[in-house]
């Protein structure tokens, strides 16, 4: 049975169920598998055949991570249910984008962004694990617009979960707000906080910091450091290798990156045995990762708003998982390194380790002007419309690709209709919402406006949660 250890080395190791519900480790670290299960593409093909469904591949890849904590039949049912919420038969189709380049479209889920691939599974796994334990939770989160809807869609109508999402009142786009507020489910509660996104995040932190309150409502989160989200994302790297028939051959990936969860999942696939010759970590103007791969120094600076808001980050929290490997699984070193990073805003990796990383990793920055150009170029050349996040990844692939013969898979992380203004500015055409979201502007909205005040928000959460007193 797989055990999970904290990157900071002092928290006790856990099984999958505990890791799922815990999120962050009590020592401040992130959970990683003690050992990576081993697999080759040839073995995968032998297990699932040459033309499996996405769900079949997903079960084969994830089973070693969950085995012993969930019934095989239950797990299969949950995975099938999860990917039935996607409206493409391939779930994450590969679309050719010119010479030896493909788009891996991760945006066919309920909210049109790649977060659905993991969150749709995690919501169901939470419900299953809570049911086994006879427990329930209240999930809280803050969103600037993009991630809230994926969490809400993942948790709506789950028996044992109540979810409360805070967004800054009047500061999200209308599509983003409506994707959250038109969800008609009794366990979903939207709060428009009279304040900024930072105020929302501070309220969430304060709620978690209040031990009495936290216990009383069984507070929980499904943020991007949750191991199960990384696990679900490992699957589509294998899927791409399988679909491109890369048995015994390498593949390269370009990944639009914010919190480093998506690209770390690619690294996980490689640790398992997938042959990956290059990872391109694509960033917008918020280029802390590009500067890191260039210099070995990770230095926090101000965040600038860009056309690709889900990548507007200061710190990529999942990077700690890669650092753990870079420092040979020495938890004490990681604890020192990241405590210091928090205090000083600087983290440095020596030239030797940086050199080892750079054998297969590249950081690449694409600014807003270039992002618009890439959207226009690709539209003109092959008729595909890219969202600005995807365009950052495609632009980075054009700039940093190392081999003309190894196929380059660019992860497409959002549907263009999610960012209609940026797309229209680039190509003069407004992308249409897919049919499942038609009617978004007619459906009634449900949300409560609250002041930026902890006691008021806590009272709201307490009154909505179905946790027994
Ligand atoms: C979250 C998100 C990203 C960044 O992914 P990470 O796993 O945080 O690196 C990129 N694009 C879109 C559209 C996203 O929603």
What pLDDT shows up at residue 160? 95
3-state secondary structure the chain: CCCEEECCCCCCCECHHHHHHHCCCCCCCCEEECCCCCCCHHHHHHHHCCCCCHHHHHHHHHHHHHECCECHHHHHHHHHHHHCCCCCCCCCCEEECCCCEEEEECCCCCCCECHHHHHHHHHHHHHHHHHHHCCCEEEEEECCCHHHHHHHHHHCCCCCEEEEEEEECCCCCHHHHHHHHCCCCCCEEEEEEECCHHHHHHHHHHHHHCHHHHHHHCEECCCCCCHHHHHHHHHHHHHHHHHCCCCCCCEEEEEECCCCHHHHHHHHHHHHCCCEEEEEEEECCCCHHHHHHHHCEEECCCCCCCCCHHHCCCCCCCHHHHHHHHCCCCHHHHHHHHHHHHHHCEEECCHHHHHHHHCCEEEEECCHHHHHHHHHHHHHHHCCCCCHHHHHHHHHHHHHCCCCCCCEEEEECECHHHCHHHHHHHHCCCCCCCHHHCCCCCCCCCCEEEECCHHHHHHHHHHHCCCCC
Answer whether 243 contacts ligand 1 (Cβ < 6 A): no
Q: Encode pLDDT of 218-259 as tens digits.
A: 999 888 899 999 999 999 999 999 999 999 999 999 999 999
| pTM for the model | 0.96
Would residue 333 count as lying in a domain?
Answer: yes
Domain carrying residue 282? 94-112+227-427
Atom of ligand 1 nearest to the CA of 390: 11
What pLDDT shows up at residue 468? 67
Answer whether 220 contacts ligand 1 (Cβ < 6 A): no
Would residue 217 count as lying in a domain?
Answer: no
Answer whether 113 contacts ligand 1 (Cβ < 6 A): yes
Answer whether 416 contacts ligand 1 (Cβ < 6 A): no
**Ligand 1 mean position, distance from CA 263 (Å):** 10
CATH assignment of the domain containing 314? 3.40.50.1100
Answer whether 204 contacts ligand 1 (Cβ < 6 A): no
**Ligand 1 mean position, distance from CA 453 (Å):** 29
Would residue 65 count as lying in a domain?
Answer: no
How many domains are contained in the chain? 1
Would residue 290 count as lying in a domain?
Answer: yes
**Ligand 1 mean position, distance from CA 146 (Å):** 9
Stretches in the chain below the pLDDT threshold 70: 468-469
Answer whether 261 contacts ligand 1 (Cβ < 6 A): yes
Atom of ligand 1 nearest to the CA of 389: 11
Taking CA atoms only, the protein residue closest to ligand 1 atom 15 is 310
What pLDDT shows up at residue 469? 56
Would residue 201 count as lying in a domain?
Answer: no
Would residue 369 count as lying in a domain?
Answer: yes
**Ligand 1 mean position, distance from CA 413 (Å):** 7
Q: Which residues are catalytic?
A: 115
Q: Encode pLDDT of 386-397 as tens digits.
A: 999 999 999 999
What pLDDT shows up at residue 466? 86
Would residue 212 count as lying in a domain?
Answer: no
Give the mutation target among 104, 112, 114 for probing the ligand 1 site: most ligand atoms within 8 A of CB: 114
Taking CA atoms only, the protein residue closest to ligand 1 atom 1 is 310
Would residue 74 count as lying in a domain?
Answer: no
**Ligand 1 mean position, distance from CA 282 (Å):** 11
């Amino acid at each position: 049975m797989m055990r999970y250890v904290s990157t900071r080395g002092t928290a006790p190791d856990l099984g999958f169920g505990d890791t799922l519900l815990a999120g962050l480790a009590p020592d401040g670290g992130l959970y990683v598998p003690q050992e990576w299960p081993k697999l080759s593409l040839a073995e995968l093909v032998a297990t699932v055949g040459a033309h499996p469904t996405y769900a079949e591949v997903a079960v084969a890849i994830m089973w070693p991570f969950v085995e012993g904590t969930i019934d095989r039949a239950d797990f299969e049912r949950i995975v099938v249910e999860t990917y039935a919420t996607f409206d493409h038969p391939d779930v994450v189709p590969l679309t050719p984008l010119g010479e030896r380049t493909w788009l891996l479209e991760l945006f066919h889920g309920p909210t049109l962004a790649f977060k659905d691939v993991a969150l749709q599974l995690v919501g169901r796994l939470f419900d299953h694990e809570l049911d086994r334990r006879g427990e329930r939770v209240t999930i809280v989160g803050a969103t600037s617009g993009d991630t809230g809807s994926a969490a809400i869609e993942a948790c709506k109508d789950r028996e044992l979960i109540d979810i409360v999402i805070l967004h800054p009142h009047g500061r999200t786009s209308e599509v983003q707000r409506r994707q959250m507020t038109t969800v008609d489910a009794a366990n979903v509660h939207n709060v428009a906080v009279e304040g900024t996104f930072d105020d929302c995040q501070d309220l969430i932190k304060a709620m978690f910091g209040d031990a009495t309150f936290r216990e009383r409502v069984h507070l929980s989160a499904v943020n991007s450091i949750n191991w199960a989200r990384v696990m679900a994302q490992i699957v589509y790297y294998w899927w791409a290798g399988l679909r491109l028939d890369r048995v015994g051959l390498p593949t390269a990936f370009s990944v639009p990156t914010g919190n480093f969860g998506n690209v770390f999942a690619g690294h996980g696939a490689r640790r398992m045995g997938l042959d990956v010759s290059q990872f391109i970590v694509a960033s917008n103007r918020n280029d802390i990762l590009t500067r890191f791969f260039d210099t070995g120094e990770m230095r926090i600076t101000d965040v600038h708003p860009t056309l690709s808001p889900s990548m507007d980050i200061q710190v990529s929290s999942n990077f700690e998982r890669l650092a753990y490997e870079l420092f040979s699984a020495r938890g004490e070193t990681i604890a020192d390194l990241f405590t210091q990073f928090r205090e000083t805003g600087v983290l440095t990796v020596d030239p030797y380790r940086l050199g080892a990383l750079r054998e297969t990793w590249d950081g690449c920055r694409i600014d807003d002007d270039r992002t618009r150009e890439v959207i226009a170029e690709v539209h003109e050349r092959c008729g595909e419309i890219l969202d600005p996040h995807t365009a950052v990844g495609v632009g980075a692939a054009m700039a940093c690709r190392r081999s003309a013969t190894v196929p380059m898979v660019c992860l497409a992380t959002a549907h263009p209709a999610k960012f209609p203004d940026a797309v229209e500015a680039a190509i003069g055409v407004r992308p249409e919402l897919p049919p499942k979201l038609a009617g978004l502007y007619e459906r009634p909205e449900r949300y409560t406006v609250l002041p930026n005040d902890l006691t008021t928000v806590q009272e709201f959460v307490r009154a909505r949660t179905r946790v027994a007193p």
